[in-house]
């Protein structure tokens, strides 16, 4: 049962062949068995989960069920959930219990989806390997010597290990897509503003975007029907007509034009990852699509642009963690200034401190024009490249990550090498575009490879269709890590 899709689970619930309580019990037992080794969950509250499941069963008995009522979900620990600890993977918030629900949590509750727990993540979503969490690194279910990717590594590992049928994640520079690729699942980063950021703890406000992570594109489409929607509490939320993201899933791919950026297939792409991506593109040709060569000339600048803009926004957003109002406070200090300094020194990890210092530097007098403003100009050029590309093609394809999952600890000593893990994903966030990653094979080390699909603004339904058609013809998305079947 734990390998069934969201639609299949919903059908069993609708037919009375199982209950939400029974389903949640199965997942909770699996979490209890596997999580000590994988460390994908920070918080699990069995009593709260089963109470929500009983409420879902009651709704169904009363004829008040929606499409996913009773189907459980895990949430990245960046989303505030009333009554649940919401740590953001940091010592700074280790004892913080959210007094309200994020918009994403509200939507899942309204749909009747019980919460299985809060998943582990890089501290304040800053990382590409899920090694910066105060609660310890997450292990990749395909190979526990490897990272699961980050920052949504806990959500990706939970879905890959079938500890949850689906999970929420957030994507600032690739943090849904990159861990989805490294863990062999499907993850969608929607158009910026399509999913409300209300109650989602901020890293870089102009880049952060919540989205679904699941085994398949069809599951992500069903979740998008829950997550997307206007929210007046978020000033960046987009007011758009309600969509059914499953509406195009069965559309044939004949006539589809796939753009292949020359910048994504050169030096830096590992040979084994490249072979899997090439094979996936060949499958798309067999399904009726045609490919065209395109160029994204400014994509090479995306990493340096991102690591000016994102830390600048982070330095502002994280100024609120000072030990005064909530969160960690240093136990010993002499005066107010000393309390600030000790609290932030003890409560924040090295990577977070590094980005705060970089961000403060680029925003400081004398450097703002030289770095921050120049990065904003380059950001517009990157977005313009995509606009030009979509005049030639319907979708852009390439690798999600330059390699398969790397070993735990392999890149921690070299932050720049770690940052390059997101070289194919960051430009999408800078432009605010939608993109998803789907599994397309394995590298020579037996670790998954992801294929990235990038669409024009608000093309989520079409992207999910393109991914779904590939998944109908292949079975990479159905595979389960060895020993966890």
Reference 463, options 209, 173, 259, 188; nearest CA is: 188
- Which of these is catalytic: 76, 109, 118, 411? 76
Is 175 tagged catalytic?
yes
Reference 348, options 367, 368, 329; nearest CA is: 329
197/194 Cα distance (integer angstroms): 9
- Which of these is catalytic: 151, 196, 302, 315? 151
Residues 219-256: b if buried by 16+ CB within 10 A, e if exposed: bbbbbbbbbbbebeebeebbeeeebebbebbeeebeeb
Report whether 189 contacts 216 (CB < 8 A).
no
- Which of these is catalytic: 20, 152, 155, 175? 175
Enumerate the active-site residues: 76, 151, 175
């Amino acid at each position: 049962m734990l390998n069934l899709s969201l639609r299949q689970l919903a059908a069993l619930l609708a037919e009375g062949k199982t209950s939400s309580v029974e389903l949640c019990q199965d997942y909770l037992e699996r979490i209890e068995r596997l999580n000590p080794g994988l460390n994908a969950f920070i918080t699990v509250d069995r009593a709260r989960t089963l109470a929500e499941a009983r409420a879902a069963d009651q709704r169904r008995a009363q004829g008040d069920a929606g499409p996913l009522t009773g189907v459980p979900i895990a949430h990245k620990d960046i989303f505030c959930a009333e009554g649940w600890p919401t740590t953001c993977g940091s010592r700074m918030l280790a004892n913080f219990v959210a007094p309200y629900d994020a918009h994403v949590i509200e939507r899942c509750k309204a749909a009747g989806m019980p919460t299985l727990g809060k998943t582990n993540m890089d501290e304040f979503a800053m990382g590409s390997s899920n090694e910066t969490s105060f609660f310890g690194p997450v292990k990749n279910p395909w190979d526990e010597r490897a990272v699961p990717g980050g920052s949504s590594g806990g959500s990706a590992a939970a879905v890959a290990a079938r500890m949850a049928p689906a999970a929420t994640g957030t994507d600032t520079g690739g943090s849904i897509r990159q861990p989805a690729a490294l863990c062999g699942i499907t993850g969608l980063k929607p158009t910026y503003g399509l999913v409300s950021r209300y109650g989602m703890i901020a890293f870089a406000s102009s880049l952060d975007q919540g989205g679904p992570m699941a085994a398949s594109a069809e599951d992500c489409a069903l979740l998008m029907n829950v997550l997307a929607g206007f929210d007046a509490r978020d000033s960046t939320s987009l007011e758009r007509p309600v969509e059914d993201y499953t509406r195009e899933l069965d559309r044939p791919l004949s006539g589809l034009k796939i753009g292949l950026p020359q910048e994504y297939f050169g030096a830096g792409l590992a040979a084994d990852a490249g072979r899997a991506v090439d094979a996936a593109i060949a499958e798309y040709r067999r399904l009726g699509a045609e490919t065209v060569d395109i160029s994204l000339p400014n994509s090479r600048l995306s990493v340096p642009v991102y690591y000016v803009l994102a830390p600048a926004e982070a330095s502002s957003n994280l100024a609120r963690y000072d030990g005064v109002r909530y969160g960690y406070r240093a136990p010993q200090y002499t005066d107010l200034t000393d309390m600030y300094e000790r609290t932030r020194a003890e409560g924040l990890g090295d990577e977070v401190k590094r980005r705060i210092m970089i961000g403060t530097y680029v925003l400081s007098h004398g450097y703002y024009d030289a770095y921050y403003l120049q990065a904003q100009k380059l950001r517009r050029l990157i977005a313009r490249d995509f606009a030009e590309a979509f005049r030639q093609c319907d979708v852009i394809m390439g690798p999600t990550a330059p390699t398969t999952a790397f070993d735990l600890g392999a890149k921690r000593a070299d932050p720049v090498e770690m940052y390059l893990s997101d070289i194919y994903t960051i430009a999408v966030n800078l432009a605010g575009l939608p993109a998803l990653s789907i599994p397309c094979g394995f590298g020579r080390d037996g670790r998954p490879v992801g294929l990235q699909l990038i669409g024009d603004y608000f093309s989520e339904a079409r992207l999910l269709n393109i991914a779904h058609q590939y998944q109908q013809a292949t079975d990479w998305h159905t595979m389960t890590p060895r020993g966890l079947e």
